[in-house]
């Protein structure tokens, strides 16, 4: 199926415009060949998801429950020299976190110009690309994802799916009673860009540091295996 799709794309590239050079076709073929391989259903989704996040430049933690997640957020704030205050989305999953377990004082609001750090709850994780779905709606302002220096995102291990096809199926199923949110953002790590000679710059148009905390009853060596898979 994958080879058939590539054949159709290359055929359209060859015949859709007569100005395509052999070099352009070769570059397109190489680009298709370097795309992430689909995750097989038998693969451990959590490990695949976290390994790709690590390769994307994100920092990753794996915790067993929501209380441990709050303590991990507190450790993140301490490591980055912040106090125990942070902005968070007014999402029901965030509102019900046991914030006192980490001594954190959350403010459920939209970030302002002087707010350097925010926390959000991802609705899905995608193992194929190491991406997290963050909706934009009244409870989840887009500013909280893009206009802070450091962003912490929580994801339930049970909400990690293999690929975008499964993600869209979940999105459509969840949208039936209340409709889709204003926007859907798939974020795969810290903001980065590279100039013409390949100098990588992080924080060009979004967070410099992007921490993903995966919550679930997973084997103790899950994160270690993810790092090994990522070659880190």
Place of tokens 């993810």: 226
How many CA atoms, within 13 angstroms, populate the side-chain half-sphere of residue 120? 31
Q: Answer yes or no: is pLDDT of 42 > 50.
A: no
The confidence band for 41, taking pLDDT boundaries of 50, 70 and 90, is very low
Alpha-carbon gap, residue 149 to 154, rounded angstroms: 17
208 and 216 in contact (C-beta within 8 Å)?
no
User: 59 pLDDT exceeds 90?
Assistant: yes
3-class DSSP assignment, residue 49: helix
Looking at the whole model, is its pTM more than 0.85? Answer: no
- Could you tell me what percent of the chain has a pLDDT over 70? 74
Q: Which residue matches tokens 């707010």?
A: 115
The lowest-confidence range among 56-60, 143-147, 200-204, 220-224 is: 200-204
Q: Dump pLDDT digits (tens) for 64-94.
A: 999 999 999 999 999 998 988 899 988 889 9
Q: What is the mean pLDDT of the chain?
A: 83
Main-chain phi, psi angles of 46, to 5 degrees: -65, -45
CA distance 183 to 7: 32
Return phi, psi of residue 171, to 5°. Answer: -60, -45
> Mind spelling out the 3-state secondary structure of 53-77?
HHHCCCEEEEECCHHHHHHHHHHHH
pLDDT digits (tens, 9 = 90+) for 174-229: 877 777 888 899 998 875 555 555 554 554 556 889 999 999 999 999 999 999 99
Determine what percent of the chain is predicted with pLDDT higher than 90.
Answer: 53
In sequence order, which residues have a C-beta less than 8 Å from that of residue 156 and are 6 or more positions away?
A: 214, 215, 216
Task: Tell me the average pLDDT across 6-14.
Answer: 65
Give the relative orientation of helices 222-230 and 45-55 as an angle to the nearest 10 degrees.
50
Phi, psi dihedrals of residue 66, rounded to the nearest 5°: -70, -35
Ordered domains of the chain (ranges, CATH): 1-35 (no CATH), 41-230 (3.40.50.10420)
Separation of alpha carbons 31 and 44, rounded Å:
26
Residue 201 tokens read as 């710059």
Comparing CA positions, the residue from 227, 71, 45, 219 lying closest to residue 152 is 71
Q: Tell the burial category of 197 from Cβ atoms under 10 Å away from its Cβ (0-12, 13-18, 19+).
A: exposed
């Amino acid at each position: 199926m994958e080879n058939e799709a590539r054949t159709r794309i290359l055929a359209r590239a060859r015949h859709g415009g007569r100005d395509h050079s052999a070099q352009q076709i070769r570059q397109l073929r190489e680009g298709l060949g370097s795309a992430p391989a689909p995750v097989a259903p038998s693969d451990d989704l959590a490990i695949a998801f976290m390994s790709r996040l690590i390769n994307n430049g994100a920092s990753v933690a794996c915790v067993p429950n929501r209380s441990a997640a709050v303590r991990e957020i507190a450790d993140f704030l301490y490591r980055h020299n912040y106090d125990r205050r942070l902005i968070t989305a007014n999402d029901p999953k965030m509102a019900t976190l046991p914030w006192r377990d980490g001594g954190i004082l959350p403010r459920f609001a939209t970030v302002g110009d002087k707010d350097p750090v925010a926390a959000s709850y991802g609705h899905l994780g995608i193992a194929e690309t190491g991406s997290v779905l963050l909706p934009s709606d009244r409870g989840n302002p887009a500013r909280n994802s893009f206009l802070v220096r450091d962003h912490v995102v929580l994801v339930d291990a049970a909400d990690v799916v293999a690929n975008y096809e499964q993600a869209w199926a979940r999105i459509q199923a969840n949208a039936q009673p209340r409709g889709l949110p204003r926007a859907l953002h798939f974020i795969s790590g810290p903001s980065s860009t590279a100039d013409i000679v390949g100098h990588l710059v992080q924080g060009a148009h979004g967070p410099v540091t992007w921490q993903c905390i995966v919550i679930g009853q997973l084997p103790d060596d899950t994160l270690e295996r993810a790092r090994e898979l990522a070659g880190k």
